[in-house]
Structure 1
Amino acid sequence: MRDTPAEAPPKPPVTCWFAGLTTLDVIHRSAVRPGRNEKVTAVRQDVSAGGPAANAAVIAATLGARALLISAMGTGPVGSAARGDLEHHGVEIHDTAQGREIPVAVSAVMVDDETGDRSVVSPDATLTNGLDVTAAELDTLPRPDVVLLDGHHPDLARSVLAYALALEPRPLVVLDAGRWRPVFADLLGSADVAARSADFRAPEDAAQSRAVVTTHGPDPVTWCDKDGRQGSTDVPEVVVRDTLGAGDAFHGALSVALAQGAGLEAAVEEGVRVASIRVQHIGPRSWLEYVPCA
């Protein structure tokens, strides 16, 4: 009688670091936009953690990666509320505030009930600039396969990048480059992939990343890999209900796919798939249940 071959043990999940901004988003969905000195009644309200790095980490955890967020939250009520939402969705947190109470940005978000378009007012990282992280702290964390930087905390981004570049094997470095920030001058030249919006404008003398991905809203995503191969990936036509965090969904899924060894084209396709799911559902978190089974 032949022995049944033993099944190969499951591979451990990839580890993705997300370094950057965490906010608390207060989101109102409204059928009309308020005019000057006018009040309107929202048709829906949500409160969740926000910020490019934080949202991308939630997506990565939903996709089965070990998602570690390196950010500043502190012990205050706003940071604690953001932390609770992130941990509920499987994100591990390294808080650079180190047990202090710090001001954490509260973002005011309005989503148009008819079009799904969002408007955001936020202090971003301006309330907590200057927070950094040491190599000794990073040494205590699980080694990453991919590191995403959103550039909102410049000192933090530079320190995490320097640490990642010194690791062996070196993780892939992804930049969330939605809009130009001066810190990107220090980051672009070392990045493996710069995931840019169509509105991103770098100075002519800025260094370039090894590969570039550019999103164009509902139009095809264009990309150029490290070997100079170029292409575009179509975005499916869907009924758009809510665009808040669509870019973050794309970046989180892109990062996980790259960490799993996908080529740039396949990773872009995965990012498009997940972002397309996100925009079809109302609310910052309810859509996550549709991601793994899509």
Structure 2
Amino acid sequence: MNKEVRMRVAVVGSYGVGETMRTKRFPGPGETVTDGILSVGHGGKGSNQAVATRRLGAEVSLLTAVGQDAAAAAAFDLWRREGIDSSQVLEIEEANTMTGMIIVDDEAENRIVIAPGALDHLTAADVRSRSELIESADALIVCLEIPIDAASEAVRIGHAAGVLTVFNPAPARPVPHEIFDFIDAMTPNLSEARAILGKDGSEPGGDPTSSAVSELALALHVRTGVDVVLTNGADGSIVADSQGARVVAPHPPVELVDTTGAGDSFTGALTVALVEGSDLETAAERAAEVGAFVVGRHEVVPSLPHRSELSDLLWPTMSRSSSHS
């Protein structure tokens, strides 16, 4: 692909500081473990998705809310270095920048607790007053680390403008059914799919079978009318649309180090692939390679690949206009 390509992606989502503790195993109730190694870095699903999308060749504008603190200053510096338009980001005087506490064990699994802080101050009115950011884009990515009213307003504006709307319903929480009238594709994991469908817990007898996951993805498509790419960790993903459900095989990582950020990179990559004209199944295949790259490295932002680090087969080189207008 050696032609001039210009694609614009708007991200309405979260930024936060990620404080990651690495330990051999998760502590049990009331237990203290003392082998932790702490690192602090950039986080928040929206910002992660913005960086992932930008590194794959898109022009990216981000709408989020931060405090007026050192974490916010570091965030603006990150976005400047990555070439992300942060001119519409809200700065909230009375709240701290969102902070996420992440524990990662030796199996590369993670547990996360979030203090939303400034994100709770992002309103639907804020999104409406910045609607041009969405309306001028080719695609919109929205996650649920922001208030549901703000997320709903963003996809409504995107849909009305004919923008491809990609919804990452994470973290898992109930959402009003009418939001799906404004969404083209969504990228839930198992727990998020179950939350939307009103199902609790896991399948009896342990992990669900591949057929059960396919049925879940198809049920989600039928319930919402939205194209679904259900991510299923090491088992790949399930695409469910009007043609039924299909399993998309995983792209095996060279090494499994840390799964934090894999879902964010997958959503960003899927969006870029869809904007570039891939069908849903091919887009999921391309996103799987990006996710596999991310889980082989520590921390989120350092692990997000540039396009040149990926295979030419799935991610051919593109020439890109870097100017904003």
Q: Tell me which interval the TM-score lies in, with the shorter structure as reference length.
A: 0.7 to 0.9
Which of 144, 153, 158 is the matching residue for 1:159?
Answer: 153
Counterpart in the other structure of 2:290: 274
Change (3 A) 1:228 1:189: farther
Shift of 1:217: 1.1
Match of 1:82 in 2: 75
Question: Mapping of 1:1-294 within 5 angstroms?
Answer: 10-34=3-27, 36=30, 38=32, 40-43=34-37, 45-97=38-90, 100=93, 102-112=95-105, 114-124=106-116, 128-129=120-121, 131-132=123-124, 133-139=126-132, 143-151=136-144, 152-167=146-161, 170-199=162-191, 200-201=193-194, 202-203=196-197, 208-225=224-241, 227-238=242-253, 239-289=255-305, 291-294=307-310
- State the shift of 1:136 in Å: 4.1
Closer/same/farther in 2, CA of residues 263 and 83 from structure 1, 3 Å limit: same
Change (3 A) 1:21 1:229: same
TM-score normalised by length of structure 2: 0.77
* CA distance in 1 between partners of 2:230 and 2:246 (Å): 11
Deviates more, 1:114-123 or 1:199-208: 199-208
Q: Equivalents in 1 of 2:271, 2:2: separation in Å?
A: 24
Quote the offset at 1:276 in angstroms. 0.5
Name the amino acid aligned to 1:86: W
Q: Secondary structure at the match of 1:218?
A: helix
Farther-moved stretch of structure 1 (76-85 vs 56-65):
76-85
What is the TM-score normalised by the length of structure 1? 0.84
Equivalent-residue separation in structure 2 for 1:83 and 1:18 (angstroms): 15
Distance between the aligned counterparts of 2:136 and 2:65, measured in 1? 20
User: What is the deviation of 1:86?
Assistant: 3.5
What RMSD over aligned residues (CA atoms) do the two structures have, in Å? 2.8
Q: Hey, what's the Cα distance between the residues in 2 that align with 1:26 and 1:159? A: 30
Distance apart, 1:289 and its partner CA: 4.8
- C-alpha separation in 2, matches of 1:125 and 1:100: 11
Q: What is the Cα deviation at residue 179 of structure 1? A: 4.6
Greater Cα shift, 210-219 or 32-41 = 32-41
State the shift of 1:81 in Å. Answer: 2.6
Partners of 1:28 and 1:61 in 2: CA distance: 27
Q: Secondary structure at the match of 2:95?
A: coil
Amino acid at match of 1:146: A
Q: Distance in 1 between matches of 2:117 and 2:269?
A: 24
Contact 1:67 1:92 in 2 (8 A): yes
> How many Å apart are 1:157 and its aligned residue?
1.3
**In structure 2, how many angstroms separate the alpha carbons of the residues matched to 1:140 and 1:268?**
26
Amino acid aligned to 2:298: I
The verdict on how the C-alpha distance between 1:61 and 1:38 changes in structure 2, with shifts beyond 3 A counting, is same
CA separation in 2, counterparts of 1:92 and 1:174?
19
The structural deviation recorded for 1:105 is: 1.8
- Number of aligned residues: 282
Deviation at 1:69, TM superposition (A): 1.5
Contact 2:16–2:100 (8 Å) recurs in 1: yes
* Contact 1:174/1:193 (8 A) holds in 2: yes
SS at match of 1:258: helix
State the alpha-carbon separation in 2 of the partners of residues 91 and 229 from structure 1: 37
Matched AA of 2:243: G
**What secondary structure, in the 3-state scheme, does the structure 1 residue paired with 2:120 have?**
coil
Do 2:141 and 2:166's aligned partners in 1 also have CA atoms closer than 8 Å?
A: yes
C-alpha separation in 2, matches of 1:125 and 1:270: 34
> Could you tell me how far 1:219 is from its partner in structure 2?
0.8
Deviation for aligned residue 1:62: 0.8
